[in-house]
Structure 1
Amino acid sequence: MCEYTYSNGKKCRRKPLKGSKYCSLHIPFEEGELLYGEKIKEIKRRAFEKALERGVRNFEGVQLYEVMIAGKDIEGPLIFRNSTIGRIVIANSKLKGLTLINTNVESVVVIESSINFFYVNGSTLYGLSLCSVEFSSSILIRNSSIKYVMLNSVEYREAQITAEEEYGERGRMAGRVELSNLRGVRRIAINSRYPLIKRLAEELGIEFNRKRKPVRIHMLYIGGIKFDESPRFKRQVRLYINALIGGLTIENTSIPGHAEVVNSRIRYPEFVHVTVHNNFVLKNSRFYSDETWNLTFLPNLLAELEVLGFIVIENCLFNNPYLAEVFYRIARTTWERSGDKEKADEYYYLEMIARREKLLHHYLRGPKTPRRIFRLFEVFFEWLFADLTCKYGTDWRRPVFLWVSLVLGVFPLFYYLTRSVEVTNSFFDYVYFSIVTATTLGYGDLHPVGVGKMIASVEAIFGMFMWAVFLTVFARKYMR
Structure 2
Amino acid sequence: MCEYTYSNGKKCRRKPLKGSKYCSLHIPFEEGELLYGDRIKYIKKRAFERALERGIRNFEGVKLYDVIIVGKEINEALIFRNSIIKRLVIVTSKIKSLSLIDTTIDTLVIVNSEVDFFYVNGGSIYGVSICSVKFSSSILFRDSSIRYVMINSTEFSPKEVTTEEEFGEKVRIAGRIELANLKDVRRIALNSKYPLMAKIMEEFGIKLSLDRKKPVRVHTLTITGVEFDESPRFRKQVRIFINRFSGQLIFENLSVPGHVEIVNSRVRYPEFVHVIIHNNLVLRNTRLYSDENWNLAYLPNLLAELNVYGFIVIDNCQFNNPYLAEVFYRIARTTWEGSGDKENADEYYYLEMLARRKKVIQHYRKGPRTLKKMVKLLEVLFEFLFADLTCKYGTDWKRPVFLWMGLVIFVFPVFYALTKSVVPTSSLFDYVYFSIVTATTLGYGDLHPIGVGKVIASIEAIFGMFMWAVFLTVFARKYMR
Cα distance in 2 for partners of 1:142, 1:169 equals 24
Number of the residue aligned with 1:54: 54
Number of the residue aligned with 1:194: 194
Number of the residue aligned with 2:179: 179
Number of the residue aligned with 2:379: 378
1:250-265 matches, cutoff 5 A? 250-265=251-266
Number of the residue aligned with 2:11: 11
Cα distance in 2 for partners of 1:21, 1:390 equals 84
Cα distance in 1 for partners of 2:220, 2:62 equals 34
1:27-106 matches, cutoff 5 A? 27-106=27-106
Number of the residue aligned with 1:138: 138
Number of the residue aligned with 1:437: 438
- Residues 61-106 of structure 1 show CA distances to partners (whole Å, capped at 9, x for unaligned) of 0000010001111110110000000010000111001100000000
Cα distance in 1 for partners of 2:247, 2:123 equals 27
Normalised to the residue count of structure 2, the TM-score between the two structures is 0.99
1:79-478 matches, cutoff 5 A? 79-210=79-210, 211-478=212-479
- Residues 353-389 of structure 1 show CA distances to partners (whole Å, capped at 9, x for unaligned) of 0000000100001111111110000001000100000
- Residues 212-260 of structure 1 show CA distances to partners (whole Å, capped at 9, x for unaligned) of 1100111000000000011001111000000000000000000000110
Letter in 2 for 1:322: Y
Cα distance in 2 for partners of 1:293, 1:44 equals 53
Letter in 2 for 1:25: L
Letter in 1 for 2:417: Y
Secondary structure of 1:295's counterpart equals helix
Q: 1:206: how far off?
A: 3.1
Cα distance in 1 for partners of 2:203, 2:428 equals 83
Letter in 2 for 1:225: V
Can you give the 5+ residue segments of structure 1 that lack an aligned partner in the other structure?
none
Secondary structure of 2:139's counterpart equals strand
Identity of aligned residues (%): 70
Q: Hey, which bits of structure 1, 4+ residues long, moved more than 4 A?
A: none
Cα distance in 2 for partners of 1:201, 1:422 equals 86
Can you give the 5+ residue segments of structure 2 that lack an aligned partner in the other structure?
none
Cα distance in 1 for partners of 2:333, 2:437 equals 41
Cα distance in 1 for partners of 2:130, 2:171 equals 23
Q: 1:204: how far off?
A: 1.8
Cα distance in 2 for partners of 1:389, 1:153 equals 47
Cα distance in 1 for partners of 2:131, 2:104 equals 21
- Residues 156-211 of structure 1 show CA distances to partners (whole Å, capped at 9, x for unaligned) of 00111111111121221110000000000000000000111111122223333433
Normalised to the residue count of structure 1, the TM-score between the two structures is 0.99
Cα distance in 2 for partners of 1:288, 1:40 equals 55
Cα distance in 2 for partners of 1:160, 1:299 equals 36
Secondary structure of 2:18's counterpart equals coil
Cα distance in 2 for partners of 1:221, 1:2 equals 42
Q: 1:50: how far off?
A: 0.2
Letter in 1 for 2:351: L
Letter in 2 for 1:7: S
Cα distance in 1 for partners of 2:298, 2:206 equals 46
Cα distance in 2 for partners of 1:435, 1:228 equals 66
Cα distance in 1 for partners of 2:453, 2:295 equals 52
